[in-house]
Amino acid sequence: MSDTQTPAYTGPQRVFSGIQPTGNLHLGNYLGALQKFTRLQNDGWDCVFCVVDLHAITMPFDKSQLANQTRQIAAAMMASGVEPGKSVLFAQSSVLAHTELTWVFDSVARMGWLEKMIQFKEKSGKDAERASVGLFNYPVLQAADILAYKATHVPVGEDQRQHLELSRDIADRFNRDFDAPGFFPLPEALTEGAGARIMSLKDGTKKMSKSDPAENSRINLIDDADTISRKIKKSKTDTMGDMPSEIAGLEGRPEVANLVGIYGALAGLTDEQVLAEYGGKGFGTFKPALADLAVDHLAPITTRMRELMDNPDEIDAALRQGAEKANAIAAPVMEEVRQIVGFWRP
């Protein structure tokens, strides 16, 4: 694990995060990631945001749709407030440093570290021997994604903490193995803020997911107002009575707790504040109010996202600009890595 005695990184503070171009982005992605990206950008952070298309090919995919799905994720980021003029926004495969640094890190990371990765076990299932090497190596590429930009902070959910810890271990091991103290930062997690974990509208014990076959389990960012309203009004609750007035009343009621959390995240309220307003009221009152709030909040994002998807040239121009900016950061880092490792240089 990371050695706390290693000299600290003293470079600039930078945020990195990426989203896979698979499936439609949904409310959970927006509240858990996209909204935070915009907040970090507007708070003055140096932000690098990436559509991680290299990660997308580690599982079966449709090559005819990959480029357009990449545009869709970029459109969602832009529609949510990520501005190419303020943040770096690009497609992962357009910056070669990601793959080159992955190979260097492959020689630093240890098999035992990767074998402990829970996400590989979940995605590969019982047939791990037939899974791609890329899926197994996914966390090393993630480390390269972050460290190619010497990012110091990564917005993550709880399910990504293990991968971030691996990135810290790889960075620390590289610094020590190659006698380069403080060269790479040990990136830290950014997890604060509401909406970090939005659950399925059909099962409050499962995270809202792009891959869930039940369409009514999630609110997609491309859903129109009527669809959003219908999905919320049909969302699962329970038969235990009206809305509770206190937090303790949410215990054992995961679906109700999820809806309260969604309302709070959209309105900028705590769960306590939501319950103070709706406690004792029936779902026939609360659900329509939540539906109206969600429509009001998401409608401008959906409209802008669809405008962008109808004008792919605008998205492509932003991604090209972002790739140039990303390369300008990563290329000097990679040149230093080559020198530190001892490769022959022309």
Q: Which two tokens stand for residue 324?
A: 């140039």
Closest listed residue to residue 309, CA positions, set 94, 70, 82: 70
Rounded to whole angstroms, the Cα distance separating 298 from 270 reads 20
DSSP state of 9: P
Residue numbers annotated as active site = 123, 207, 210
Q: Which two tokens stand for residue 201?
A: 């509208």
Rounded to whole angstroms, the Cα distance separating 221 from 246 reads 31
Name the strand (E) or helix (H) holding 15.
strand 15-19
> What per-residue string of b and e applies to 109-140 under the rule 16 or more CB within 10 Å gives b?
beeebbeebeebeeebeeeeeebeeebbbbbb
Strands 188-190 and 88-91: unpaired
Which residues lie below 8 Å from residue 32, measured CB to CB, with a gap of 6+? 157, 195, 196, 197, 198
Q: What angle do CA 271, 276, 278 make, to 5 degrees?
A: 90
Rounded to whole angstroms, the Cα distance separating 166 from 154 reads 13
Order across the sheet with 88-91: list the strands.
88-91, 47-51, 15-19, 153-155, 188-190
